[in-house]
Structure 1
């Protein structure tokens, strides 16, 4: 965007400033916003135009040098760890301050302070889930158990705050100017809160929906439609793995009383469709170079500023590079001189719900066995821009906060449910990443992971020594089979978790004989793993495509791994479409449009490239057919989830005339063919409308991948209609609003070679040429060279800054 773009943005921003007066509160003062010396225009400069040779930074033990490459990626060289993290805080704030603060305010339930009452319900729910409470517990735990980590957190915060204290009105990020507020000081608490926020983004539970489904369907039909181990599961840890440990005993109650009524309450926000990730590592026996190669691409919301901020951190002890999370210390997904690692979401159910029976309306005590336990109260003071302070009293039990009660929107008077979540227990995930940053081998990797509680993650590993590994890590409750699948009775002590699975018994594998490890959000293990594992959201397509390709491949190169990350083979379509075409038959053979669409589908190679038209036709037809199949189930007032695409295709294939396809409220007996044909009729109507209004229905034009600013109303700061392929369920999981938020491939040879890219840019300033300059490369499957650089390396230097 430079000046021309900013002329357009200026007009839009004035409009924004006026528009925000309605949804966001008072109009920001326009004179300061338009002041040429301090206002919007000062954000039109790129970082290389504002480069400073030296900067004063207090509390350093020695000089720190920061070298920016041509992509504005900083390489920080410090003489000790404390200086390194103080400098990381300063440099990150310099480029991503508004993003850091906005995300932690969202995590604390404080968005109403910025935008007014429109965010009040969101803030209330965030606080009732106890994210800030969990962060407070985390800070206490770290302060008491790991003073070194706490010292580094304080150093990072000091670096951020020194930048804030030096920040003039002119250089204030533009979002502060538009929304008319200023940054507040950073703290160690905010860094921990940010990590809890990531947990909330990635963890889900469907206890409410499953409780309702159990009531609607009964246990037999529920197990049929929602099997815990569907046919064809290809788990993360290779099938047949020998566990090599004696599991802890778990006692299942003789009888279980579940809350029995359908619950018409609003479910907690869940991870959005498309949230997922891929990671894998291949052994040297399968690569052309003879070196292990590791790849990672986390799939999250596509936002600007980008979720990730690339950086190299170098001290005398180590040099690490990769993707950092602005506001957290160290590198989250990356590599050093000896190892590489990456993460995917493990989708484990670590949130459970308990029905609370209060003694009386005072809610000061609740039944637990044959006793009344005392509650505590936490008064949440929510500041609301332009309005009075809002007070929300949240009751806490020994399970956790009572999220749903009579005081909350849409909740019945007699409904009280408490949330038990490992986020509310003290932990130190920050230490995991600080230790990974300096790790040298597999033992160091395992020691680092022992500190990690949540969110459950699949940590992939590779080393120059030749090892590859995968470990599914989190603090996982010890449960009897079926525990936590439904809402439970909090008055029954038998419903308690019976401890935690020991870290050394979490599912893991080292150097498997197949020559690779991989994960893509699927089932963690086969059915031989001795502990109960359940989640509603396991993935069934990306993982099988990935494992098939890795099994087939040999003489693998970095380029092969990059191509695999960008692979847009539509396995779901490859399995579903032949069945659908067969069930459709020739019923629409004489319709010209029908012939056109059927012909496209029959000739399709199942790759969802951006210029292909068949993916659009299949996507619409499938969604319409799926909607027809589960129409009756989806009409329930009580919240539910529908059966998976994978299970639905199995029903269509194996029992097309089965009872699962019959709609009970009609006189006829429906089968799979009937739903497919109804779906096709709806497809024809949709396609006619699309072609009349939009014309071209190529896949990229239909799915309209957009990378939105964190405040969606700021459309001038977003990038829309990115021309790229892929989609949900494909390795290149780029849908309309989600996709690979970071792609990394690392060759662990004698000299580590690395490549990375993400959909955005290093700058958080929409006026900078470094704000979105990676997007086209990312959309085309290209990468930046991400090798470690030395302090004396001169090639590709944009500018250098010395911190004194």
Structure 2
């Protein structure tokens, strides 16, 4: 870090010039920013430099002790819950205030307030998706159904606000100074909004793309390329699970009449490539110690400040430690004295689109069956820095907000699509985590999950009692087969969601005979599950590698579980590359480089380690092959979904001359061989150019994993070219911009042993040595000791702060 501030001083003027020319927003006044008393110079500190032994906090009932370990991880010891969460709010804000506020402003569609008109369209779309609307409903739901929680959420907000009020200009986080604004008050609503933001990050749909593809190729071909279950289905809940309940029945439509529009509108942004997760637990029967071991590594965009903030929260009733979400109460993925739990994305389709037929241009009434229903209108007031406030009118039907209409963009066709999404239903996910933090056994875990609606998650569980479990939790509509895969007619009542799957019918398992539970974003169940299940984004490789290793391993140790989280085996390559080499025509190779590349691929052991060169060659060759195979689909010039890698490889292997591989827009009759060979030629040309310009094409050098600041233009606050292996579709799912945002391994023995790491640091201040100090350990597959601390422990303490009641 000794060069950090020299570089920053150099980059500040350059950055300002960039903002002024792009612009990211109006450039801040230079004088305050460069003022040695209040400007960015005052952010040149690490937290231990300013450690306070005692601080007064209004509203506390008794003194709260905060012990920071050598990694700046706070361990908060309070006498009661209200004091605990007030202290959590204060401490979190002290280290992550700008991040907390920026993310909630993004969730509310308020980024234009900070950066100006460049973010207006983003804010409009966020408002139209109804995230803030969903949070408002959630807030009312909590007040009405769980009023006992409000003092805790309010205490957290008060802790944040007391820190905000203590901030002078000098101590303002540097991002506020560069973007030239100040923090506003926190509220209970914002904590709930943050959890809705996670739903938007993790939830996607392809209704638009499926609708277009069905219109172009027909249902029969669609079914061939997009089967409901893959041949090698290894689901989250073991395939031999017996479902001992009578499912809720619904009325199945006699006939289906889908809208037949030619849909050229842009689809909603989808979760970033690489977003996924792994979690698993193994029973004591498979471990060396005889104790269960639980592991969790959520895969998300790699950002600074890091998505997670580590913390221990302790009262006389419980002690919990793990990864918190800055702005939300409690621990999201972690463990206490009795249990451990973790989460992965459950990838179940929980949002659907309905075409709305309005009576006239007033849009005040819309067709539903034989009647006209009343619309409602929500006026979205979007403040824009440096410009006049923008007013947007969003129509709401009983399905939800009309996201797409002509008022959104005048160049769009005359269509009106309303979004039905479980995020718009009152719920209390915050209660799930507060209960989980205190849970003592499997029944407590199940009770906590009953309050959870969205985003759908696979919750893994293990306890000191020896239990392991998995439950796929969310609020899921009961659907007839195919419902929600395509845009539906909102005027047809048959298209409605008729009921919801009861919590007790959600797929779950407890202590299965195989001795482990696991999830990696794959299909949740096998075809015997009595409810229709669909999502476009099911994973087909990580889950099979994970389950294969868990079946193989016995006498498992914590170190083996760490190694499995960092496993670089590239199963997709292991299955696809032999097919591609078989189709490659090599007899006429005259090119020395081409021969060299091919030999490196043939010699490869399929591990995507950072120093390996073959992963780079395969990645480029496969990408070009895949694009060649489905190139015709891109030339249709409408959004469509393409077959996934698993189905594509299967088709190449079993039917390389399939009609699907022939591009009807050319005179030639193409086969898989045609595309594989053309792609190889292009790969060779690209690699020659790479070697000439960049030199070494080892996987880490080509992949160039970067951990980017939440404002991408703040490049000096990012960490680039992290030397690490893995990749999308690999257990160590570290691609260029996504990866394991948090790794945790917990052995449920006596005492509990825990380990964790994430790619960043505890501090949100780029000038702190604790801003990115975990990254090298994370990149190397190393962990921090994450054991629970007692308040009287004295080793490895960075500093202590006592929060005392303000008189």
Q: Which residue of 2 aligns with 1:336?
A: 336
Q: Which residue of 2 aligns with 1:664?
A: 664
Hey, what's the Cα distance between the residues in 1 that align with 2:121 and 2:624?
33
Q: CA deviation at 1:231?
A: 1.2
Q: What SS does the aligned partner of 2:380 have?
A: strand
Q: CA deviation at 1:667?
A: 2.4
Q: Which residue of 2 aligns with 1:14?
A: 13
Hey, what's the Cα distance between the residues in 2 that align with 1:192 and 1:177?
27
Q: CA deviation at 1:21?
A: 2.6
Tell me the alpha carbon deviations over residues 90-127 of structure 1, each in whole angstroms, 9 at most, x when there is no partner. Answer: 00000000000000000000001111111011000000
Hey, what's the Cα distance between the residues in 2 that align with 1:616 and 1:287?
36
Q: CA deviation at 1:410?
A: 6.1
Tell me the alpha carbon deviations over residues 279-330 of structure 1, each in whole angstroms, 9 at most, x when there is no partner. Answer: 0000000000000000000000000000000000000100000000000000
Alignment of 1:158-557 (within 5 A): 158-409=158-409, 412-557=412-557
Q: CA deviation at 1:660?
A: 1.7
Hey, what's the Cα distance between the residues in 2 that align with 1:423 and 1:700?
38
Q: CA deviation at 1:750?
A: 1.6
Answer whether contact 2:250 2:499 (CA < 8 A) is retained.
no
Q: CA deviation at 1:591?
A: 1.7
Answer whether contact 1:265 1:411 (CA < 8 A) is retained.
no
Tell me the alpha carbon deviations over residues 183-207 of structure 1, each in whole angstroms, 9 at most, x when there is no partner. Answer: 0000011001000000000011110
- Spell out structure 1 runs of 4+ moving beyond 4 A: none
Hey, what's the Cα distance between the residues in 1 that align with 2:403 and 2:92?
35
1:610 paired with 2:610, answer yes
How many residue pairs match? The answer is 803
Answer whether contact 1:404 1:411 (CA < 8 A) is retained.
no
Q: CA RMSD in A?
A: 0.8
Hey, what's the Cα distance between the residues in 2 that align with 1:161 and 1:27?
28
Q: Unpaired runs of 5+ in structure 2?
A: none
Q: CA deviation at 1:240?
A: 1.7
Hey, what's the Cα distance between the residues in 1 that align with 2:561 and 2:766?
32
Q: Which residue of 1 aligns with 2:684?
A: 684
1:792 paired with 2:777, answer no
Q: Which residue of 1 aligns with 2:720?
A: 720
Tell me the alpha carbon deviations over residues 7-55 of structure 1, each in whole angstroms, 9 at most, x when there is no partner. Answer: 2112212222332234133221111111111111110110000000001
Hey, what's the Cα distance between the residues in 1 that align with 2:727 and 2:430?
32
Answer whether contact 1:277 1:298 (CA < 8 A) is retained.
yes
TM-score, reference length from structure 2 = 0.99
Answer whether contact 1:478 1:531 (CA < 8 A) is retained.
yes
- Of 413-422 and 732-741, deviating more is 413-422
Q: Which residue of 1 aligns with 2:560?
A: 560
Hey, what's the Cα distance between the residues in 2 that align with 1:571 and 1:597?
20
Answer whether contact 2:25 2:179 (CA < 8 A) is retained.
no
Q: What SS does the aligned partner of 2:433 have?
A: helix
Q: CA deviation at 1:491?
A: 0.6
Q: CA deviation at 1:411?
A: 5.5
Hey, what's the Cα distance between the residues in 1 that align with 2:529 and 2:411?
39
Q: Which residue of 2 aligns with 1:127?
A: 127
Q: What SS does the aligned partner of 1:170 have?
A: helix
Hey, what's the Cα distance between the residues in 1 that align with 2:584 and 2:453?
49
Q: What SS does the aligned partner of 1:245 have?
A: coil
Tell me the alpha carbon deviations over residues 704-743 of structure 1, each in whole angstroms, 9 at most, x when there is no partner. Answer: 0000000000000000000000000000000000000000
Q: Which residue of 2 aligns with 1:802?
A: 802
Q: Which residue of 2 aligns with 1:97?
A: 97
Change (3 A) 1:40 1:412: closer
Answer whether contact 2:761 2:770 (CA < 8 A) is retained.
yes
Tell me the alpha carbon deviations over residues 636-679 of structure 1, each in whole angstroms, 9 at most, x when there is no partner. Answer: 21111111011000001111122121111222321111111011
Q: Which residue of 2 aligns with 1:600?
A: 600
Q: What SS does the aligned partner of 2:777 have?
A: helix
Answer whether contact 1:265 1:410 (CA < 8 A) is retained.
no
Hey, what's the Cα distance between the residues in 1 that align with 2:78 and 2:273?
41
Q: Which residue of 1 aligns with 2:66?
A: 66
Q: CA deviation at 1:413?
A: 4.6
Q: What SS does the aligned partner of 1:720 have?
A: strand
Hey, what's the Cα distance between the residues in 1 that align with 2:749 and 2:250?
45
Q: Which residue of 1 aligns with 2:730?
A: 730
Q: What SS does the aligned partner of 2:344 have?
A: strand
